[in-house]
Amino acid sequence: MLTEILFYHLTEKRLEDVVPSLLQKCLERNWRVVLQGVSDERIQAIDAHLWSWRDEAFLPHGATRDGNESMQPIWLTTGQDNPNNATIRFMVEGAQPPDLSPYERGIYIFDGHNANDIEEARKRWKVEKEAGHNVTYWQQNPNGGWEKKA
């Protein structure tokens, strides 16, 4: 089975504005998720944000300091681990993933205002395409919604 790889190009909203709703959609489909970042500080910031992003919504998740990795529907990490047996893997801010073949979906989210993020996304696009994965590119429209561009 080929992994579906999605690239989400942020142009209108910040990572913190889009990640919670994307994770919520995954949970609604009963998908287990790993979100991989590049630094402990950013993972801690995302962790804190997920607890308070909406009063009416709850995103059950955990990170290394929380333990119970296998029980977490969403796992936050800087590593290439998959302790909760996730089938969906998010990579944010240039995180370098493990082989994505075992996953149903790999999702790269990159900042369109950051030249390094754009360059890294281009490299990953090439790598994932050459690996034979089904690759799509989504860009935010002026209203913050997503439009498929490739």
pLDDT in tens, 67-77: 889 999 999 99
Tell me, what's the pLDDT at 1?
63
* Mean pLDDT in residue range 79-102: 96
Q: Which CATH superfamily hosts domain 4-148?
A: DNA polymerase III subunit chi (3.40.50.10110)
Determine what percent of the chain is predicted with pLDDT higher than 70.
99
Bridge-partner residues for 45, per DSSP? none
pLDDT in tens, 40-64: 999 999 999 998 888 887 799 999 8
Q: Where are the domains of the chain?
A: 4-148
Q: Model's pTM, two decimal places?
A: 0.94
